[in-house]
């Protein structure tokens, strides 16, 4: 087998995995999330979306699209000064929960993204959001028994140990909800 054929097989398998994982979602949960987002807007709340690394980039993308394209107030905590200040003052594992304490209101919902579902700062944020009686939506992957998946009101899980597959699917699912909400206008 030539290297070109081997490389082609890699990409075929990668995109097959993406397609299969993307379709392996409970669409009723996507509708439930869209309904929750719509209700949050009606109740003058906002959508707070948080993640680390690639998941933070997804949070930014989704927050911008919700705000600009769907006209739904959304935010994330990707401001470097906020992240470094709160991490320095409260510890990295606590910075998101402290940001929720400062920025979240009772009408808001919190969407937390962690590929592994093991990120301590995201887990602590879920616990904080629940203590504030805010709806918590989680997106995770890797192990089906990951701690984050146990904490949400609506949980999305990707059955894959590969970061780029998990993150791609998270982004696809969230952006499909954004487009669903836009299409309803």
Q: Is the pLDDT of residue 5 over 90?
A: no
**Per-residue pLDDT tens for 39-74?**
999 999 999 999 999 999 999 999 999 999 999 999
CA–CA separation, 111 vs 163, rounded Å? 19
Neighbours of 164 (CB within 10 A): 13
- Whether the predicted pLDDT of 185 surpasses 70: no
Q: Give the tokens for residue 113.
A: 């993204």
Structure confidence at residue 134 (pLDDT): 98
**pTM reported for the whole predicted model:** 0.94
Is the pLDDT score of 8 beyond 90? no
Backbone angles phi, psi at 60, to 5 degrees: -60, -50
For residue 30, CA distances in Å to 1, 23, 102, 117 come to 42, 12, 28, 19
Structure tokens at 149: 């998946």
Residue 145 has pLDDT above 90, yes or no: yes
CB 129 within 8 A of CB 110: yes
* pLDDT for 2: 73
Which ranges of 43-185 would DSSP assign to H, the alpha helix?
54-68, 80-90, 95-103, 120-131, 163-184
- Kindly report the CATH class assigned to 26-184: alpha beta
The mean pLDDT value for 152-176 works out to 97
Of 135, 132, 88, which is closest to residue 111 (Cα–Cα)? 135
Q: Where are the domains of the chain?
A: 26-184
Tokens matching residue 176: 């499909």
């Amino acid at each position: 087998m030539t290297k070109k054929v081997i490389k082609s097989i890699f990409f075929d398998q990668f995109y097959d995995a993406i397609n299969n994982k993307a379709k392996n979602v409970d669409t009723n949960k996507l509708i439930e999330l869209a309904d929750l987002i719509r209700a949050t807007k009606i109740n003058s709340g906002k959508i707070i979306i948080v993640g680390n690394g690639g998941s933070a980039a997804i949070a930014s993308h989704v927050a911008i699209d919700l705000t600009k394209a769907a006209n739904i107030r959304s935010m994330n905590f990707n401001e470097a000064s906020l992240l470094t200040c709160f991490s320095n003052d409260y510890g990295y594992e606590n910075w998101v929960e402290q940001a929720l304490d400062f920025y979240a209101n009772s009408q808001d919902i919190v969407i937390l993204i962690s590929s592994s579902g093991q990120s301590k700062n995201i887990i602590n944020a879920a616990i904080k959001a629940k203590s504030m009686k805010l709806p918590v939506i989680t997106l995770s992957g890797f192990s089906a028994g990951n701690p984050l998946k146990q904490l949400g009101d609506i949980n999305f899980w990707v059955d894959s140990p590969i970061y780029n597959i998990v993150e791609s699917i998270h982004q696809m699912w969230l952006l499909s909800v954004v487009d669903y909400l836009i299409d309803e206008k």
